[in-house]
Amino acid sequence: MKGSSLRPFFIYNSLSRSVEEFTPLDRDCVTYYSCGPTVYLRQHLGNMRSYIFVDTLKRALAFNGMRVRHVMNITDVGHMTSDADGGEDKVEKTARVEGRSPQEVASFYTKLFLSDLKELNVETPDVVCAASDHIADMIALIKRILERGFAYVVRSGVYFDVEKYRGENRVGRLSRQSLDEQHAGQRLEHAPDKKSPHDFALWVLNQPTHLMQWDSPWGRGYPGWHIECSAMAMRYLGETIDVHSGGIDHIPIHHENEIAQSESATGKPFVRYFVHNAFLVGMEGAKISKSAGKFPVLEDLVEAHVNPLAFRLFCLGAKYRSELVFNIDAVRAAERNLYYLYGFTANARPEEEDSPWTQAYRERFHEAINDDLNTPEALAVVLEMVNKAYREGDHRVWGALREFDSVLGLRLAEQLEYLSKLKVPADIQALVEQRAQARRDKDFRRSDELRTQLRARGWEAKDHRDGTSEYVPRWN
């Protein structure tokens, strides 16, 4: 049952590279930090898959009776075009191209991002924090790192001493890569006064053309990307947090660096469970990313008359740790399942207790969700239950369906309320009555023609084996 404290919840921990039972420091308040967007362009669908995963994980923890305090950052300064401190600040690059200030760019794309989250029914985090609002927290954290001897100041900036932190082992705790492997594959040596090419910037100095700068004990400059997440996570969640999530591309650099700088400052474990989601890829197998040029965004689906929640359902149809191949036909297939569930709500019986047979589906759903967030299996359970309700003419399953949707986030309760208040337009009602007569007359050709007309006007016909039909809007 929802809220049960007796069931163990298992999740894949990237730190141990194994599925572990999740045991938070305080079950009454799980601390969760997720990497948010760098707001220099609209977030593409690959990004949105990550935020759907974050939302689903948070919902799953709540489903298991845990209260979650969720913090997500907005990076509006310091994220360079290379994750390893190289190139131009991403927000400033867009500002120069578009002829706007960095603040205007960040504000514009933050609003678009939050709007897309709403369309996908992603719950707003408890705290959404912009990096530029937390410069003082970053400076305070850098001071602590310097005091413990794990950073140094040179003309170009304040750098974290990676080799000193790692010692003779030289292997990252999260990525399991040695410094030599990281340098060969991902580092850019762009500051000649660094002690080592492996060292990363905590605070950047002497960059007069950079548009966003602040005073600091070391001179006027701006923060490195990695220090932002550590400072904001600690500000709102404490020095040790339960869960930290992000895409798998964050493992070798960003999250590895977060661990190093955080633990060097506090002497405590930074994160207990690192959880990472895989990429959304194109048909040719390439990661969908902004750097690849043209990339699909949520607005593209809306313009193609696809319900945004169909993309959410599409993402739930794959394990979060598996690559997911994007194509519009697959999303439309998910949309058919979405409307199948929406259609069922027209006949749901929320005023009646669930039939006893729904308990077995509750058990199976909970087992799937608690098994490393197995959403494909959980979704299969939901569709199977609804199919059984249709097949046996017993629609007393609303309690279970509502519980399932607290994790899936498909807005079934909103759909039920919408349909309960819906007045069918007179022209649509006339087509419905004509189609009912055609079915009684066994004039199936005419029936199909009327179905097509209804669909063209935004209504879906669902025929049942008992001869009845239901009609629901395809878009609302």
Q: Give Cα 304 distance to the centre of its chain.
A: 22
Length of the chain in terms of residues written: 476
The lowest-confidence range among 53-62, 66-75, 148-157, 426-435 is 426-435
**Section 388-399 average pLDDT:** 92
Asked if residue 9 has pLDDT above 60, the reply is yes
Alpha-carbon distance of 343 to 471, in angstroms, equals 8
Asked if residue 285 has pLDDT above 60, the reply is no
Residue 192 neighbours by CB under 8 Å, 6+ apart: none
Alpha-carbon distance of 11 to 67, in angstroms, equals 17
Q: How confident is the model at residue 380, as a pLDDT?
A: 98
Query: Residue 137 burial (CB < 10 Å; 0-12/13-18/19+)?
Result: buried
The lowest-confidence range among 48-62, 90-104, 234-248, 261-275 is 90-104
**Section 454-467 average pLDDT:** 78
Q: Give Cα 111 distance to the centre of its chain.
A: 17
Alpha-carbon distance of 23 to 303, in angstroms, equals 43
Work out the angle between the directed axes of helices 398-408 and 45-63 (0-180°, nearest 10): 130
Dump the DSSP string for 438-457. HHHTT-HHHHHHHHHHHHHT
Domains and CATH numbers, the chain: 22-277 (3.40.50.620), 423-476 (no CATH)
**Section 137-166 average pLDDT:** 97
Q: How confident is the model at residue 286, as a pLDDT?
A: 56
The two structure tokens encoding residue 331: 């999303």
Q: Provide the 3-class DSSP secondary structure of residue 242.
A: strand
Instruction: Identify which has the larger pLDDT, 431 or 284.
Output: 431
Average pLDDT, the chain: 90
Q: How confident is the model at residue 184, as a pLDDT?
A: 47
Q: Provide the 3-class DSSP secondary structure of residue 171.
A: strand
* % the chain with pLDDT above 90: 69
DSSP-derived pairing of the beta strands 221-223 and 200-205: antiparallel
* % the chain with pLDDT above 70: 92
411: phi > 0 → left, psi -120 to 50 → alpha, else beta; which? left
Q: Provide the 3-class DSSP secondary structure of residue 265.
A: helix
Q: How confident is the model at residue 140, as a pLDDT?
A: 98
Query: Residue 385 burial (CB < 10 Å; 0-12/13-18/19+)?
Result: buried
Locus of tokens 């649509």: 428
Asked if residue 85 has pLDDT above 90, the reply is no
The lowest-confidence range among 104-113, 168-177, 372-381 is 168-177
User: Is this structure's pTM higher than 0.75?
Assistant: yes
Residue 275: φ, ψ to 5°:
-125, 125
Alpha-carbon distance of 261 to 263, in angstroms, equals 6
Asked if residue 437 has pLDDT above 80, the reply is yes
Q: CA 227 → CA 85, 87, 201, distances in Å? A: 12, 18, 8
